[in-house]
Amino acid sequence: MQGRGPQAPRGVTSAQPHPNMTESERFDAIIIGSGQAGNPLAYALADAGRRVALIESRYLGGSCINYGCSPTKALLAAAHRAHAIRTAGALGLRVPAPEVDMPAVIGRKNRLVELHREGIRKNLTLEHPGITVLHGHAAFVGPRTLLLAPNREIEARRLTAPLIFINTGTVAAWPDIEGIREVGALTNETLLDLPELPEHLIILGGSYIGVEFGQMYRRFGARVTIVDTETRIMSREDEDVQLELQRLLEAEGIEFVLGARARRVSRGADGTLTLTADTRQGERRLRGSHLLVAVGRQPNTESLGLDLAGIDTDEHGYIRADDELRTGVRGVYALGDVKGGPQFTHISYDDYRIVRDRLLHGRRRRTTARPLPYVVFTEPQLGRVGLSEKDAAAQGVTYRVGKLPVYHIGRARETEAPAGFLKVLVGEDDRLLGAAVLSEQGGEIMSMLQIAMAGRLKYQQLQNMVLAHPTWAEALNNVFAKLQKPKT
């Protein structure tokens, strides 16, 4: 991902020529941002004989490698293991409480990140001839011309190509709250490097990032309070999913302050942070040691000079692209999170496949034709694919719903993981429309249902399938037993 580092060469705007700038360098393709769409596209184009420039202003690998999927799941693994040790008594095991060594936990995460970065560096620079990696900030000065301000050089470079791919990703959005930047508030990126365990972590935002980090730091041993303007967490989910996950997190000691609008943050002389919020019950002041801002994302498009290329953005700054990822400028594509829509690594990677197939194999596929699976890595996990009940109602889709409490699964009782439920939506043709799996291994169970949806299996085939016992997969035999029309 091209981050928000150097915004333009010193002393010039993206519309002005740099006094020390060389003549234009021509490539067959230029990729701005080393993210989950940009890197594999660079490999594919280079292997097809194209001369490719890949520009990155920060770290190779994009958000997933550097401060998204990989580092957060490394920390979550430590938090969940600590919780497993603390709760081992339920299995008849007497073990001492774990001591959380946060510098060691962070150190392991850093080693994994460096391993991934080095692997990507080798792939880009050694394994695929034809790729030129450039470190710096790029901005458009014309429809297919870029001005590059190198990170470690004085001289700017002008680059041109008939194909340009924007894969610059997003950064954490900051809410308009008095004092929030002055008190040292953290984002999901900076929290990953915090060497100490917060005494009391206040989290602004009760969506996916907020609940994952909330449970993580609660299991590390911090007190955690999650604040959100919505009256329920994870507003995109169905009500039963929202309420059940909140109940499970509250059982672990996480406090929720919902329907609250934060308006001021301050820090006292003793270091205590105070967040003042308006709630339905009146003003409330929450005191903590650290504040995490997790209210959403915003695109890295501000300093790209998009207007000089004629590239349109929406009211939030996301690049407008059609369902084949084309911007309004011929030869310029927007890939990954920077174009808005679902912001997941696997969606960015599929963006690469859509463009690769179109340009190299003559096959056309659209973003509207793909499924949208995702997993929230709380414990239990939430795996989601296809329509929710909320979606089906909004679209006027007729469906039946089946729901199975996890404690009815033999594997759940045997492993002391009985929390949550499985929910499936079935259409009039007896085929799956969607699923929500709030369960141990919820992401894996959801993926099995996604495969069934891709194969257009009827639910009876899953219900009557011979599945090995005792496995989590056996839930697929039972979840359809009581299909019924939704309650109105």
Which of the residues are catalytic? 469
- Cα–Cα distance between 87 and 94 in angstroms, integer? 10
Residue 205 assigned ligand-binding role: yes
Residue 434 assigned ligand-binding role: no
Residue 296 assigned ligand-binding role: yes
For residues 375, 381, 387, 391, the Cα torsion angle rounded to the nearest 10 degrees is -100
Give me the amino acid identity at 125: T
CB atoms within 10 A of CB 375: 19
For residues 27, 29, 35, 39, the Cα torsion angle rounded to the nearest 10 degrees is -90
Q: List residues bridging with 484 in a β-sheet.
A: 401
Residue 114 assigned ligand-binding role: no
Residue 127 main-chain phi, psi, to 5 deg: -85, -20
- Cα–Cα distance between 192 and 197 in angstroms, integer? 11
Read off the DSSP letter of residue 475: H
Residue 437 assigned ligand-binding role: no
Residue 310 assigned ligand-binding role: no
- Cα–Cα distance between 416 and 217 in angstroms, integer? 22
Contact 207, 218 (CB under 8 A): no
Residue 68 assigned ligand-binding role: no
- Cα–Cα distance between 282 and 264 in angstroms, integer? 15
Residue 211 assigned ligand-binding role: yes
For residues 391, 397, 403, 406, the Cα torsion angle rounded to the nearest 10 degrees is -40
341: its two tokens: 């829509």
Residue 217 assigned ligand-binding role: no
Q: What is the three-class DSSP state of 313?
A: strand
- Cα 353–Cα 354–Cα 359 angle in degrees, nearest 5: 95
Residue 289 assigned ligand-binding role: no
Q: With residue 108 as reference, give the H or E element that holds it.
A: helix 102-122
CB atoms within 10 A of CB 281: 9
Burial 130-166 (b: 16+ CB within 10 A, else e): bbbbbbbbbbbbebbbbbbbbeeeeebbbbbbebbbb
Which residue is listed with tokens 């959005």? 173
- Cα–Cα distance between 476 and 457 in angstroms, integer? 12
302: its two tokens: 């501000």
CA-wise closest residue to 275 among 346, 226, 313: 226
Say how far residue 157 (Cα) sits from the centre of its chain: 33
Residue 206 assigned ligand-binding role: yes
Read off the DSSP letter of residue 123: I
Q: What is the three-class DSSP state of 243?
A: helix
- Cα 461–Cα 463–Cα 464 angle in degrees, nearest 5: 70
- Strands 273-279 and 282-288 turn out to be antiparallel
Sign of CA dihedral 401, 350, 172, 221: positive
Residue set of the binding site: 73, 205-212, 296, 337
Give the residue numbers of the binding site for FAD.
73, 337
Q: Residues annotated in the binding site for NAD(+), as ranges?
A: 205-212, 296
